[in-house]
Structure 1
Amino acid sequence: MSVPASQSTAPTSRRRRQRRLTAGAVLLVLATTACSSLGRTAVGTVSYAIGPETAVSLTSPKVTGCHRLPPSGTTQVYNNTLVDMIMYRTPNCTGKDTVYLGSRLANNVAPRALPWRSYSFVH
């Protein structure tokens, strides 16, 4: 005895299962996307010198926002993170005199140039 295709239960249960899997995958992607920017950090360290004898290292700083350096600024920066940076001569990450500092690179300021006073990450 054969059953007409419209009455068969196998295709509908397969379709339901496929729809559930698809819906679950979509929800997982949406949840991951929504939470991905929360607390993102630049994996690695940012190091800079303050004067001739003091060095500072920050481990995994946040990717978002402007990061201020000490008021005196710095003339040596080491970006040992997985994210590129932009260096600014102002304390609030503004101005046109900037330098793009790629991931795992360093920058030294020219002898008579102004020091770096802030930085942000490219994300």
Structure 2
Amino acid sequence: MRVRRTLAALCTIVPLAWAATGCSDTSAGRITATRGLVFAQTISNPIHGHCHDFAPLGVDAVSNNLGIDIVLHKGPNCTDPVGRPSAYLGTTFSATAVAKLGLWRSFSTVGWPPPAAPN
């Protein structure tokens, strides 16, 4: 009888643990952003589906080390001023801003976060 209770408990707990990890609202990993040699910013595990602002003056280089893609915006609060398009940055890629178009001021996540941290 004892084996059946243990097995029943495991069959109940394991799916609940898997479901909890699969429903995470954070994107595992980090974004590293810099502005020249004078400023560096790291954002770890950003909340999925929200807009995230970079430093008030903006950044000119971004490395995406999340498990999902992001969209970089030239304006604060994930807005894009006229004539300054957003940029799509895939997982594990880096990008450098075009000086005449301005610095990136915010980013948003694209897609669904992975259930576990990427390697």
The bucket for the TM-score relative to the shorter chain is 0.5 to 0.7
- Deviations along 1:38-85, one digit per CA (max 9) or x if unpaired, are x52111110001342221112211112100111211110000111100
Quick one: higher RCO (CA 8 Å, sep 6+), 1 or 2? 2
- Give the superposition deviation at 1:104: 0.6
CA RMSD of aligned residues (A): 2.5
Gaps of 5+ in 1: 1-23
Partner of 2:110: 122
Residue 101 (1) aligns with residue 89 (2): yes
Partner of 2:3: none
Identify the match of residue 71 of structure 2 among 80, 86, 89: 86
TM-score normalised by the chain length of structure 1: 0.65
Partner of 2:101: 113
- Which of these two proteins has the greater Rg computed from alpha carbons? 1
Stretches of 4+ aligned residues off by more than 4 angstroms? none
* Alignment coverage as a number of residue pairs: 95
Gaps of 5+ in 2: 1-10, 112-119
TM-score normalised by the chain length of structure 2: 0.67
Residue 48 (1) aligns with residue 20 (2): no
Identity of aligned residues (%): 27
Partner of 2:50: 65
- Give the superposition deviation at 1:88: 0.5
Matched position secondary structure for 1:112: helix
